[in-house]
């Protein structure tokens, strides 16, 4: 796969359409974009001496460490009428930028992007989550894209609130 302006444009449009599904709470459609064997992973972050990244490794603590089955359970929970954190639903705006593509040997793409997520709920509850996403995208049978892996690293150590949304 050759990374060129057309591919860049196509992938960016895919990322925009994906977060639009999240904004509109079309979570079941969003799940369709995820590979069956996805690891949806958000390691915790610390300020560590001698380690500028401070990102927990695969054996460390995570904020999300989900397979598709559990992501689907989260979705069904949000659609239940007793998930108080999202009942009534939050209003969530997503900003995706700094999209960088790199072709992988296996025909898939490494796609990194910066992410700003702003949930607002009820009268005045609001917060910001800021970080970078590193995805592996591969073509699905229909010629579209499938998210095969997703790692999200937030820049905040102290998160502004608990998390009741997807990144």
Partner 1 sequence: MNKSQADVRVDAGLVSRRIFFDPEVYQEELARIFAKCWLFLGHESQIPNAGDYIAGYMGEDPVVTWRGEDGKVRVFLNSCRHRGMKVCRTDCGNAKRMQCSFHGWTYSTNGDLVGVPSLREGYRNELDRAQWGLLRAPKVASYGGLVFASWDEGAGSLDDYLGDLRWYVDVLIERQLGGLEFLPGQQRYALKANWKIAGENFAGDTYHLGHSHASLFKLDVRQINPINPLAYGKGLLYNNVSFANGHGLTGLVTGGERFELDLKLAAELGPEVVEYVRECRHRLETRLSPRQAALHALAFGNVFPNFSLNDFSALRPIGIYLWHPRGPGALESWQWCAIDAQAPQVIKDICRIDFPRTQAVAGIAAQDDTENFEQVTEATRGVIGRQLDFNYQMNLGNDAAATKEGYPGKFAPYVSETNQLGFYRRWAQLMGDGAQRPRT
Residue of the chain from 29, 125, 128, 139 that contacts partner 1 (CB under 8 A): 125
What does the alpha-carbon distance between residue 150 and residue 147 come to, in Å, rounded to a whole number?
A: 7
Angle at CA 50, nearest 5°, toward 162 and 111?
Answer: 55
Q: Which DSSP letter does residue 84 get?
A: G
Nearest to 113 by CA among 152, 139, 144, 146: 152
Residue 81 backbone dihedrals phi, psi, to 5 degrees: -85, 5
Q: Does 31 bind partner 1 (CB under 8 A)?
A: no
Least separation in angstroms between CB 15 and partner 1: 21
Residue of the chain from 11, 15, 21, 42 that contacts partner 1 (CB under 8 A): 42
Half-sphere exposure of 158 (CA within 13 A, CB side): 0
Q: Does 155 bind partner 1 (CB under 8 A)?
A: no
Q: Does 117 bind partner 1 (CB under 8 A)?
A: no
Q: Does 20 bind partner 1 (CB under 8 A)?
A: no
Least separation in angstroms between CB 86 and partner 1: 8
105's tokens: 């040997």
Segment near partner 1 (CB under 8 A), from 3-11, 26-34, 57-65, 109-117? 57-65
Q: Does 159 bind partner 1 (CB under 8 A)?
A: yes
Rg (CA), the chain: 16
Least separation in angstroms between CB 159 and partner 1: 4
Q: Does 25 bind partner 1 (CB under 8 A)?
A: no
What does the alpha-carbon distance between residue 74 and residue 55 come to, in Å, rounded to a whole number?
A: 25
Residues that bind partner 1 (CB under 8 A): 42-50, 54, 56-57, 59-66, 69-70, 72-74, 76-77, 80, 82-86, 122, 125, 157-164
């Amino acid at each position: 796969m050759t990374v060129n302006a057309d591919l860049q444009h196509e992938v960016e449009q895919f990322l925009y359409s994906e977060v639009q599904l999240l904004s509109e709470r079309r979570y079941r459609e969003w799940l369709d974009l995820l590979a069956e064997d996805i690891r949806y992973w958000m390691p915790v972050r610390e300020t560590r001496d001698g380690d500028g990244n401070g990102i927990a490794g695969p054996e460390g603590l995570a904020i999300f460490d989900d397979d598709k089955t559990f992501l689907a359970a989260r979705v069904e929970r949000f659609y239940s009428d007793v998930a108080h954190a999202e009942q009534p639903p939050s209003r969530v705006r997503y900003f995706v930028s700094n999209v960088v593509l790199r072709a992988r040997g296996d025909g898939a793409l490494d796609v990194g992007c910066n992410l700003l997520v702003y949930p607002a709920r009820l009268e005045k509850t609001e917060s910001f989550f800021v970080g970078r996403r590193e995805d592996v995208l591969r073509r699905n049978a229909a010629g579209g894209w499938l998210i095969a892996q997703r790692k999200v690293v937030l820049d905040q150590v102290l998160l502004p609130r608990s998390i009741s949304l997807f990144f």
